[in-house]
A = this chain, B = another copy of it.
Amino acid sequence: MTPHTASKDISAQVERVLVEFLDARAEALPDAADLIGEINRVAGSGGKRLRPAFCVWGYRAAGGTDDVSITRVAAALELLHTFAIVHDDVMDQSQLRRGEPTTYRRLSGTPLLRRDRDRFGESAAILVGDLAMAFADELWGSSGFEGAACDDASTLYHAMRAEVIGGQYLDLLAAARGRATLEETRRISVLKSGRYTVERPLLIGATFAGASEDVREALAAFGAPLGEAFQLRDDVLGAFGDPNVTGKDADGDLREGKQTLLVALARGVADPAQRAVLDARLGAADLDSAGAEELRTVFRDTGALRDVLASIEDLAAAARAALKSAPIPPVAAAALAGLAEYVSVRSV
């Protein structure tokens, strides 16, 4: 089994747990069938399942062998991610996710509505996210793990949830204020995505396996820079990605006025003309493709794009270096190296 097929295997196992769990919930509460159906659709709509993969490989890296329980934990993380993206899409007013209409757009088409379709779609999407978070907890609590390791992992889980919510808040605040310092953009990256996508899932998995302090430190040294690289890659894709590949709205981040490292670096060295483009175009609700191209030109010409790509490579290199000396089984190291490669060069 190569690391690549092993990670695909994790995804398939997580999928099975999710379908079984959600089917049982829909049977128990038919009133919520519409909401549960939407959770099922989002969770099954071809996400990258990075958090489950990091969780399971963190577990295996620390010598864990109980596949059933860790798969349930990994599925809980995927449900938590379903909550996060459904609510994010409401907040960001995103139209597309994974190439399909987002949950709130889709639910605005619920049959027989006589009024306030858009409002109904947003409200129902808030409820879909709420229920996904509640279900994530339920699945988390019924993993089969028990005892002190479980308590320690729960502490990480609670911290991770609060961090991702706090990070999203900072992100929204920066966009609404139209400014963020380099340090603030970094903090957003760390909280919103870095810890949430890589470091916390890895350490949650490792903790369930009763990892030694050495292993935990090595995984953190790998996960922290890689998580930041993930978010910087996300920022680059948000500005330069091909919507046919990312499956997201074209130029959505630019229209929302996200204050990323890319933006902060560009603003720091922009000449007056470039600054005028940033001020006029970034966050403009009526941004068109010509305006988005003007912004991309500023990101290129100021060197901000080059610097962010260099940062991604530096962070990925730091992650790889940490992995080399990590006291973990070779198969786990190989799988994590493969995930690191994917995370830092991905186009989706």
A283 at the interface (CB under 8 A from B): yes
A116 CA to B255 CA, complexed, in Å: 12
Q: A87-B130, A131-B162, A166-B32 are in contact. Are A120 and B172 (CB under 8 A)?
A: yes
Q: Is the CB of A177 within 8 A of B113?
A: yes
CB within 8 A of A169: which of B83, B114, B127, B257? B127
User: Closest CB-CB distance, A27 to chain B, in whole Å?
Assistant: 12
Q: A126-B90, A133-B134, A141-B154 are in contact. Are A169 and B115 (CB under 8 A)?
A: no
Q: Is the CB of A115 within 8 A of B257?
A: yes
Q: Is the CB of A165 within 8 A of B124?
A: no
User: Closest CB-CB distance, A41 to chain B, in whole Å?
Assistant: 16
User: Closest CB-CB distance, A194 to chain B, in whole Å?
Assistant: 13
Q: Is the CB of A158 within 8 A of B138?
A: yes
A212 at the interface (CB under 8 A from B): no
Q: Is the CB of B169 within 8 A of A112?
A: no
Residues of B within 8 A of A163 (CB): 29, 31
CB within 8 A of A31: which of B28, B133, B170, B177? B170
Copies of this chain, tallied across the complex: 2
Residues of B within 8 A of A231 (CB): none
Q: Is the CB of A35 within 8 A of B169?
A: yes
Classify chain A: how many residues form its interface, as a range.
35 or more
Q: Is the CB of B131 within 8 A of A133?
A: no
Q: Is the CB of B162 within 8 A of A29?
A: yes
User: Closest CB-CB distance, A204 to chain B, in whole Å?
Assistant: 15
Q: A115-B176, A126-B87 are in contact. Are A191 and B31 (CB under 8 A)?
A: yes
| Identity of the chain B residue whose Cβ is nearest the Cβ of A167 in the assembled complex | B31
A172 CA to B122 CA, complexed, in Å: 11
In the complex, per-residue mask of A98-136: 1 if CB is within 8 Å of any chain B CB, else 0: 000000000000101111110110111011011101110
A158 CA to B122 CA, complexed, in Å: 24
A123 CA to B169 CA, complexed, in Å: 8
Residues of B within 8 A of A117 (CB): 176
Q: Is the CB of B177 within 8 A of A114?
A: yes
A161 at the interface (CB under 8 A from B): yes
Residues of B within 8 A of A28 (CB): 159, 162
A20 CA to B122 CA, complexed, in Å: 34
User: Closest CB-CB distance, A104 to chain B, in whole Å?
Assistant: 11
Q: A31-B167, A126-B91 are in contact. Are A158 and B177 (CB under 8 A)?
A: no
A127 CA to B91 CA, complexed, in Å: 9
Q: Is the CB of A123 within 8 A of B31?
A: no
Q: A166-B29, A166-B31, A167-B31 are in contact. Are A134 and B114 (CB under 8 A)?
A: no
A152 at the interface (CB under 8 A from B): no
CB within 8 A of A91: which of B91, B123, B168, B173? B123
Residues of B within 8 A of A48 (CB): none
Q: Can you list 30 residue pairs at the A/B interface with Cβ under 8 Å?
A: A28-B162, A29-B159, A29-B162, A31-B166, A31-B169, A31-B191, A32-B166, A32-B169, A87-B130, A90-B123, A91-B126, A91-B127, A110-B176, A113-B177, A114-B176, A115-B176, A115-B178, A115-B283, A116-B176, A117-B176, A120-B176, A124-B173, A129-B130, A130-B165, A131-B165, A131-B166, A133-B133, A137-B137, A138-B158, A141-B154
Given A83-B130, A124-B173, output 5 extra A-B contacts at Cβ < 8 Å: A31-B169, A31-B191, A90-B123, A115-B176, A137-B137
